[in-house]
Chains A and B, each alone.
With several copies, the nearest count.
Chain A
Amino acid sequence: MSTLITKVRQRQISQLIEKGKRLDDRALTDYREIKIEEGLIERAEGSAKILLGKTEVLVGVKVGTGEPFTDTPNEGVLTVNAELVPLASPSFEPGPPDENSIELARIVDRGIRESKTIDNEKLCIEPGKKVFVVFVDVYVLNHDGNLIDASALAAVSALLNTKMPNFEIKDGEVKIKQGYTPLSLRSHPVTVTIGKIGDKLVVDLGLEEEQVMDARLSMAVKDDGNICAIQKGGSGYFTPQQIIEASKLAQEKAAEMRKKLKW
């Protein structure tokens, strides 16, 4: 609650945006500085920490084994979970995931899933019986706006440095062997969230800007520029024209941001 800003401050931000300006002098279509640190968590099979301005998200990837879903017996399982860790913001409370963390996890999940980033069939150990389960845990460490883009980018970064355990099947039993093989990705989706404030489309909203935002549109863009997942959020709306405009902007920004990924 203590993160709420005053009406005066809200009006100030809106008026600036109307003139194409922002509090921190960025252009409406500029991202804040992005820093990605990979492999920070040695204990995890993959990890990456992103700093997007002051927004900080750590993603850890753990690989386990489990049963496949009955309708996809030859495929491994991808599980994305997001925690809005209470030390990241006075507005986050400890407890089971709320709608915000569930939505965040599902947006990150869809970006990876719909872009077919992971070859799920390669995660199969024994069809119908045993497969690898890839857990992507999004851990928000500081909330200063635009958690979606930061989380999605960190998730792909973490997958990019994920190493899969080697195994062999001996006497019908699966044995984990020494050594690792890098998880090979087939796609590098980047999610771009565009906020609407008044009539303007704005990228990478900060925490205060999010409070004057009418609505947002998050788009996962693949390497070829095609969009593979979208989520509209917020209590406002977009015109069809704004949707098309936003989708073009997203494609442009995604190409820029993809350069931050190393592969």
Chain B
Amino acid sequence: MNDKQEKLIDKKGIRLDGRKADELRPLKLEVGVLPNADGSAYVEHGKNKILVGVFGPREMHPKHLSRPDRMVLRCRYHMAPFSVQERKSPAPSRREVELSKVIRESLEPALFLELYPRTGIDVFIEVLQADGGTRCASITAAALALADSGIPMRDLVVACAAGKIEDTVVLDLYDAEDKLGAADVPVAYMPNLNAITLLQMDGTLTPEEFEKAVSMATDGCKQIYPMQKEALKTKYMHIKEETQEETEE
């Protein structure tokens, strides 16, 4: 790291954007924003702006991808060309292909896939503006969009990263912290089930720091969770009741 560079966090534990170590960026969550989708959500997480649309359960195209014993969840994480500093080609990058996969795997544990055999459900994620932590914000919004579509869910999935800047473990890194910091640990979590459904790490942490980061990230998720529920409001309540009935049967 450059000596002349400003410290990412000062002696009082205040970060460049004014946050404390364990403080989330401002979040805005909206549900049901896309008229044509079966479910949708919009999230602003810091300067991240992400739109998610869900279509299905519906017949799969092409058909041979369908499964006789369960629904197939497909997930596409995609960045708008203007969402990043240098214009991004709209063709999916290797990074986008990987993130589509880990995001899908972070959502699957929340769904009752076996309830809808031979069908498919598509989650389309569009990152309109990126500012670090897009995968986490995408998961938070995708879970809302799935809930909004009316499909039964075991729990919402909520995601948030922790990481390390200078020598401090902090919550919810934004772009500059992600690039200049020592480590980033995105975590997706189902609070009611105490289940971590996504975990990645880039950068080095000691075992103690790692333990702290995981714990800080899940705590962050627990803070976001009520905001998700608030966004779903009565709609979500309705859905949850249905879910419980079905699982009790």
A and B physically associate? yes
Contact-residue bracket for chain B: 35 or more
Query: How near does chain A come to B169, taking the closest CB pair, in angstroms?
Result: 14
Least distance between A109 CB and chain B CB atoms (Å): 10
Question: Could you tell me how many residues of chain A have their Cβ less than 8 Å away from some Cβ of chain B?
Answer: 65
Which listed residue, B34, B76, B100, touches A142 by the CB 8 Å rule? B34
B199 interfacial contact with A, CB 8 Å = yes
A86–B35 touching, CB < 8 Å: no
- In the assembled complex, A12 has its CB within 8 A of some CB on chain B: no
Among B83, B86, B196, B205, max chain A CB count under 10 A is at B196
Number of A-B contacts (CB under 8 A): 185
Instruction: Mark interface residues in A202-228 (1 if CB within 8 Å of B CB, else 0).
Output: 000000000000010100001001111
Q: Given A44-B82, A228-B203, verify A240-B34 contact (CB < 8 Å).
A: no
Interface segment among B19-27, B45-53, B237-245: the answer is: B45-53
CA–CA, A236 to B40, complex, Å?
A: 24
If over half of A's interface residues share one DSSP class (helix, strand or loop), that class is named, otherwise mixed; here it is mixed
**A87 to chain B: closest residue by CB:** B53
Residues of B within 8 A of A144 (CB): 35-36
A103 in contact (CB, < 8 A): yes
CB pair A90 B36 closer than 8 Å: yes
Q: Are A238 and B204 in contact (CB under 8 A)?
A: no
Determine which of B49, B105, B185 lies in contact with A41 in the assembled complex, contact meaning CB atoms within 8 Å. Answer: B49
Known A87-B53, A96-B91, A102-B94: A62·B82 in contact at CB below 8 Å: yes
Which residues of A lie under 8 Å from residue B233 when comparing CB positions? none
When distances are taken between beta carbons in the complex, the residues of chain B under 8 Å from A188 are none
Contact with A94, one of B95, B98, B124 (Cβ below 8 angstroms):
B124
B 106-154 contacts with A by CB, 8 A: 106, 108-109, 122, 124, 126, 128-131
Q: Which of B3-11, B211-219, B224-232 contacts A (4 or more CB under 8 A)?
A: B211-219
A240 touches B194 (CB 8 A): yes
B203 touches A114 (CB 8 A): yes
Picked from A93, A99, A240, the residue with its CB within 8 Å of the CB of B101 is A99
Q: What residues of A have a CB within 8 angstroms of the CB of B203 in the complex?
A: 114, 228-229
Give the Cβ gap from B159 to chain A, nearest Cβ, in Å. 12
Interchain nearest-CB distance for B4 vs A (Å)? 17
A239–B87 CB distance below 8 A: no
B195 surroundings in chain A (CB, below 8 A):
237-239
Assembly CA distance A225 to B94 (angstroms) = 29
CA A250 to CA B105, docked complex, whole Å: 22
CA separation between A60 and B211, bound complex, in Å? 36
**A236 CA to B36 CA, complexed, in Å:** 27
Q: How far is the CA of A247 from the CA of B208 in the complex (A)?
A: 11
Q: Which of A123-131, A133-141, A147-155 contacts B (4 or more CB under 8 A)?
A: A133-141
Chain B residues with CB under 8 A of A77: none
Known A-B contacts A236-B109, A237-B109; the reply to A114 vs B204 at CB < 8 A is yes
**Does B97 count as interface, using CB distance less than 8 angstroms?**
yes
In the complex, what distance in Å separates the CA atom of A88 from the CA atom of B129? 17
A248, B207: Cβ atoms under 8 Å?
Answer: yes
Closest to B218 in A: A240
The reply to whether A137 and B37 form a contact with Cβ atoms under 8 Å apart is: no
Sample of 8 further A-B pairs with CB below 8 A, known A42-B47, A62-B86: A88-B34, A103-B97, A106-B98, A137-B80, A137-B81, A228-B201, A231-B102, A247-B210
Sample of 13 A–B contacts (CB below 8 Å) = A41-B82, A60-B81, A60-B83, A85-B124, A86-B122, A87-B53, A114-B203, A137-B82, A142-B35, A230-B201, A231-B102, A236-B197, A240-B196
Q: Which of A's residues lie within 8 Å of B, judged by CB? A: 2-3, 40-44, 47, 54, 58, 60-62, 64, 81, 83, 85-90, 93-94, 96-97, 99, 102-103, 105-106, 110, 114-115, 135, 137, 139, 141-144, 215, 217, 222, 225-240, 243-244, 247-248, 251
